[in-house]
Structure 1
Amino acid sequence: MDGGGGRRITASPRPCNGKRVVARKRGRGFGGGDGFVNSVKKLQRREICSKRDRTFTMTDAQERFRNIRLQEEYDTHDPKGHCTMVLPFLRKRSKIIEIVAARDMVFALAQSGVCAAFSRETNQRICFLNVTPDEVIRSLFYNKNNDSLITVSVYASDNFSSLKCRSTRIEYIQRGQPDAGFALFESESLKWPGFVEFDDVNSKVLTYSAQDSIYKVFDLKNYTMLYSIANKNVQEIKISPGIMLLILTKSGGCVPLEILSIEDGTVLKSFNHLLHRNKKVDFIEQFNEKLLVKQENENLQILDVRDFQLIEVSRTEFMTPSAFIFLYENQLFLTFRNRTVAVWNFRGELVTSFEDHLLWHPDCNTNNIHITSDQDLIISYCKADSDDPLSEGNGSINISNILTGKCLAKIKAGNSFPNENECSQSSKKHMCASTVRSTAAEALEDITALFYDEERNEIYTGNRLGLVHVWSN
């Protein structure tokens, strides 16, 4: 789920934990309960695209992760309450729900809405990204087009009802100037059920204003509005490389569909897809020219929209997953169901079952899953070996080959010893700027977010205590 991706964030006023993953990052929702919960109404999307040639063999991948150890620990909690925050829940310790890394910076977002920026060079917290005392940050997106971080927030002064976006260049954050950014999409009313979706592959932003039922597409490079879609019959929009799928209101036993060019909104194809009457639609997903349709207790249908050839996969073989990841370079897709991961092709054939990759979270928490940009590896927080006494009560970080299902490496309590309250090698170079207070076993307890920085070959994990741990060679 990582490598270049997109995500959708809504202004949902109620909790919802569903996730749809088309490829790279994590969407965030907001709701009631104790403070703010990590909830998603419109599901996060991700697009995975290959960025370079496959230069690593399986052996090389094993070597990359062989000596990874717990090296550093960061804390997003500020007991003094930074900037004299007026919202009590912002001053409470809460779990990490999202991690983003770019340009030797690590950004960690807590469930409370506090977001902290850390430097991997100095191993120090640079600043908090909350610019005003009443700002609750809901999600992060790294815009590689202009080397900036986009934050999506709600505000107490607005009764937390509307999404507000801000773009801040990474260099400003490195200088401790998070307030040097500028607002985005100010003309849009993003009240629930409105949303904003960032699509990294096509370099586009999709917004939906529920107030006037208008979708707008912006250029992610310069935030220029490209075109709008004013069709009150649109029920959902799915984005693929180069195209958008519009799912319109069902009519009789059919669902009208339109395929549009992502660049200018031109309608490329319109057609109706026949549905079983009175059966709930589990999902409709678009993958290039392939349309995946699944209804309750029915077979999976894979339709080629070019020639309308149809492949059906028995409902006993393909059961409705809780999340997808589409691997565009490999022409495959991953499904997540009941803690297990499987790889399928578009002939409806099961390609891979993973030998040792039982996910820790039963609800397929995709914050704890990362796909490399070459689409060859999946890194996840998994259930630890039952025969490992050191792993009792905590999980492991498993690295597996997507095409073979083979587990290549595993970070677990028994093979990843920290430096026991001494400065790590990296912090020694910086006058012991930070120490690792957690043991490896403690750092592997209840991981709530995971990110892999391919350039540094480092894994960052966050936990329920608001701590971020750095795992590297």
Structure 2
Amino acid sequence: MENHKKTPVRVRFRVTAKKRGCDAGASCSGKRGRQRDCVNSVRKLQRREIGALPRMARGAASDAAEKFRNIQLQEEFDTYDHNVHWFVKLQFLKKRSKIIEIVSAKDIIFALAQSGLCAAFSRTTNKRICFLNISPDEVIRSLFYNKNNDSLITVSVYASDHFSSLKCRTTPIEYIKRSQLDAGFPLFESESLKWPGFVEFDDVNGKVLTYSAQDGIYKVFDLKNYNFLYAISDKNVQEIKISPGIMLLIFNRTPSYVPLKILSIEDGTVLKSFNHLLHRNKKVDFIEQFNEKLLVKQENENLQILDVRDSELTEVSRTEFMTPSAFIFLYENHLFLTFRNRTVAVWNFRGELVTSFEDHLLWHPDCNTNNIYITSDQDLIISYCKAEEGCGDEGEVSAVGSINMSNILTGKCIAKISASDPALQISPRRRCETGRSSIRSTVREALEDVTALFYDEERNEIYTGNKQGLIHVWSN
């Protein structure tokens, strides 16, 4: 394993209303804790898929299904380039590697490989534009599209400092289209983002939260212009959670309670301070904030939903609500999704199960939400799921999954991209225009070992990446 993979550097992405990604997640991290990888993935999902103010979708399910009718495999891109050795010096960057993140903006597909190499592809020319690594020892860890100024932020680590510190850089999309990466500039250079420090992008509130472990200070910046706004320098803060307009500060717990503060995210003004009682000697599974609702769950105890305005408390039996791997809050709909054991469920803040999905068994058991996309209307969830076929010719578990689109409010599967669908094929148009197809994979191969997924709502295209470092474009 390469050194950069051993270094426990955290990159956090959260969006708090609308997405994506995603992302309030089951988290007990902070400067003293470690956030689980699945929660990091959910933060990316919320940032990516739920990042703008949503509106409740009122259209019929048939209208949504029509979007995905006659889906075909339209294009294939390869992030691997055997000539990449000319500008990178790290051996692992030269190897074929699986796709771990896909972001799309302004007809450009950005694909990040696990190795840390990131490529940009044009949907206009269907060619690779460039690699985004600007230094021969740069390992890109994650991507963030800043719609406020139409730029892409890369979060990287470097061999020169033993992959120990996060570095952020922003580059306007228009310059990326022209391969003018030197037009970008570094961000937050004054901050020491060594582990367990982090940077967190909050798309909805338009803020960036950083934590410098070196001096124990959290800072908030404006996502539009990256100006510094204010700092929080309390050594007892264990974690910060963000909701629309507010931040929840979670302090070190005592045996019987946990101190909490709610701050205005605009200027850091304290809006409310209170203590939440805990069961002694039981670990806290999670504490989450959703507008005026506080969700608290301890090990083997009921879920508590507290209204912080009037202290009204609702409890949900531990047998009905078991601790999930992660959450995604749908702020406009006043609902939240839970992920547990490959299943997704929808709950309201009365503690009632709203939806359980009839055909949406997730492929990855580890809460890999890079394989999940929630539309901006919060009406559809698109995921890489277990296919019905299940096994290969000799009884081996098949590596071929399906892309399932389900209605969040009803749980119904409205469309599916499946290798067993006889109508699914490589687009004949690709062959007609070029004389031969540039797509080397079969439909079945394109649906094998999918490791990342993104839905471009403007183009109505689904992008998937796999273990081979290939990107596939699905559209009608």
Aligned length: 450
8 Å contact from structure 2 (residues 54, 332) kept in 1: no
8 Å contact from structure 1 (residues 161, 191) kept in 2: yes
Give 2:413's aligned amino acid.
C
Change (3 A) 1:79 1:71: same
8 Å contact from structure 2 (residues 384, 401) kept in 1: yes
Q: Which residue of 1 aligns with 2:226?
A: 223
8 Å contact from structure 1 (residues 334, 344) kept in 2: yes
Change (3 A) 1:433 1:100: farther
Deviates more, 1:292-301 or 1:409-418: 409-418
Q: Which residue of 2 aligns with 1:425?
A: 429
8 Å contact from structure 1 (residues 399, 407) kept in 2: yes
Give 2:343's aligned amino acid.
T
Q: Which residue of 2 aligns with 1:346?
A: 349
Q: Which residue of 1 aligns with 2:103?
A: 100
In 2, the alpha carbon distance for the partners of 1:375 and 1:190 equals 33
Cα deviation, residue 57, structure 1 = 1.8
SS in 1 for 2:67: helix
Q: Which residue of 2 aligns with 1:196?
A: 199
Cα deviation, residue 18, structure 1 = 12
Q: Does 1:393 align with 2:399?
A: yes
Q: Which residue of 2 aligns with 1:444?
A: 447
Q: Which residue of 2 aligns with 1:410?
A: 416
In 2, the alpha carbon distance for the partners of 1:433 and 1:157 equals 45
Cα deviation, residue 426, structure 1 = 5.8
Give per-residue Cα distances to partners, 1:410-452, cap 9 Å, x unaligned: 0001226333xxx8636865x5797111111111111100000
Task: Report sequence identity in percent.
Answer: 73
8 Å contact from structure 1 (residues 69, 471) kept in 2: yes
In 2, the alpha carbon distance for the partners of 1:98 and 1:283 equals 26
8 Å contact from structure 1 (residues 15, 40) kept in 2: no
Give per-residue Cα distances to partners, 1:44-88, cap 9 Å, x unaligned: 522634445636320001110111111110000111125431100
Give per-residue Cα distances to partners, 1:237-274, cap 9 Å, x unaligned: 00001000000011231100000000000000000000
In 2, the alpha carbon distance for the partners of 1:323 and 1:126 equals 35
Q: Which residue of 1 aligns with 2:305?
A: 302
Q: Which runs of 5+ in 1 are unaligned?
A: 1-9, 28-37
In 2, the alpha carbon distance for the partners of 1:21 and 1:207 equals 15
Q: Does 1:25 align with 2:21?
A: yes
C-alpha RMSD of the superposition: 2.6
In 2, the alpha carbon distance for the partners of 1:12 and 1:231 equals 30
Matches within 5 A, 1:94-173: 94-173=97-176
In 2, the alpha carbon distance for the partners of 1:434 and 1:307 equals 63
Deviates more, 1:43-52 or 1:223-232: 43-52
Change (3 A) 1:176 1:18: closer
Change (3 A) 1:41 1:328: closer
Q: Which residue of 1 aligns with 2:360?
A: 357
Give per-residue Cα distances to partners, 1:202-239, cap 9 Å, x unaligned: 00000000000000000000000000000000000000
Change (3 A) 1:228 1:20: closer
Q: Which residue of 1 aligns with 2:334?
A: 331
Change (3 A) 1:55 1:292: closer
Matches within 5 A, 1:362-373: 362-373=365-376
Deviates more, 1:94-103 or 1:174-183: 174-183
In 1, the alpha carbon distance for the partners of 2:90 and 2:321 equals 46
8 Å contact from structure 2 (residues 14, 21) kept in 1: no
Matches within 5 A, 1:22-101: 24-25=20-21, 44-45=42-43, 46=46, 48=50, 49-51=52-54, 54=57, 56-101=59-104
Cα deviation, residue 24, structure 1 = 2.6
8 Å contact from structure 2 (residues 218, 231) kept in 1: yes
SS in 1 for 2:420: helix
Deviates more, 1:39-48 or 1:51-60: 39-48
SS in 1 for 2:93: helix
In 1, the alpha carbon distance for the partners of 2:430 and 2:56 equals 30
Q: 1:265 aligns with which of 249, 268, 275?
A: 268
In 2, the alpha carbon distance for the partners of 1:321 and 1:456 equals 33
Give TM-score scaled by structure 2 length: 0.89
In 2, the alpha carbon distance for the partners of 1:114 and 1:144 equals 23
In 2, the alpha carbon distance for the partners of 1:16 and 1:117 equals 24
Give per-residue Cα distances to partners, 1:336-387, cap 9 Å, x unaligned: 0000000000000000000000000111210000000000000000000137
Q: Which residue of 1 aligns with 2:28?
A: none
Change (3 A) 1:26 1:350: closer
8 Å contact from structure 1 (residues 16, 39) kept in 2: no
Change (3 A) 1:331 1:39: closer
Q: Which residue of 2 aligns with 1:247?
A: 250
Give TM-score scaled by structure 1 length: 0.90
8 Å contact from structure 1 (residues 75, 468) kept in 2: yes
Give 2:429's aligned amino acid.
Q
Q: Which residue of 2 aligns with 1:315?
A: 318
Deviates more, 1:54-63 or 1:10-19: 10-19
8 Å contact from structure 1 (residues 21, 324) kept in 2: no
Change (3 A) 1:397 1:436: same
In 2, the alpha carbon distance for the partners of 1:438 and 1:368 equals 20
In 2, the alpha carbon distance for the partners of 1:39 and 1:363 equals 9
Give 2:420's aligned amino acid.
G
8 Å contact from structure 1 (residues 11, 163) kept in 2: no
Change (3 A) 1:92 1:12: closer
Q: 2:462 aligns with which of 459, 462, 467?
A: 459
In 2, the alpha carbon distance for the partners of 1:59 and 1:309 equals 40
Q: Does 1:14 align with 2:11?
A: no
In 1, the alpha carbon distance for the partners of 2:12 and 2:176 equals 32
In 2, the alpha carbon distance for the partners of 1:201 and 1:319 equals 29
8 Å contact from structure 1 (residues 50, 375) kept in 2: no
Cα deviation, residue 12, structure 1 = 8.1
Q: Which runs of 5+ in 2 are unaligned?
A: 24-35
8 Å contact from structure 2 (residues 452, 466) kept in 1: yes
In 2, the alpha carbon distance for the partners of 1:16 and 1:221 equals 23
Q: Which residue of 2 aligns with 1:30?
A: none
Give 2:464's aligned amino acid.
T
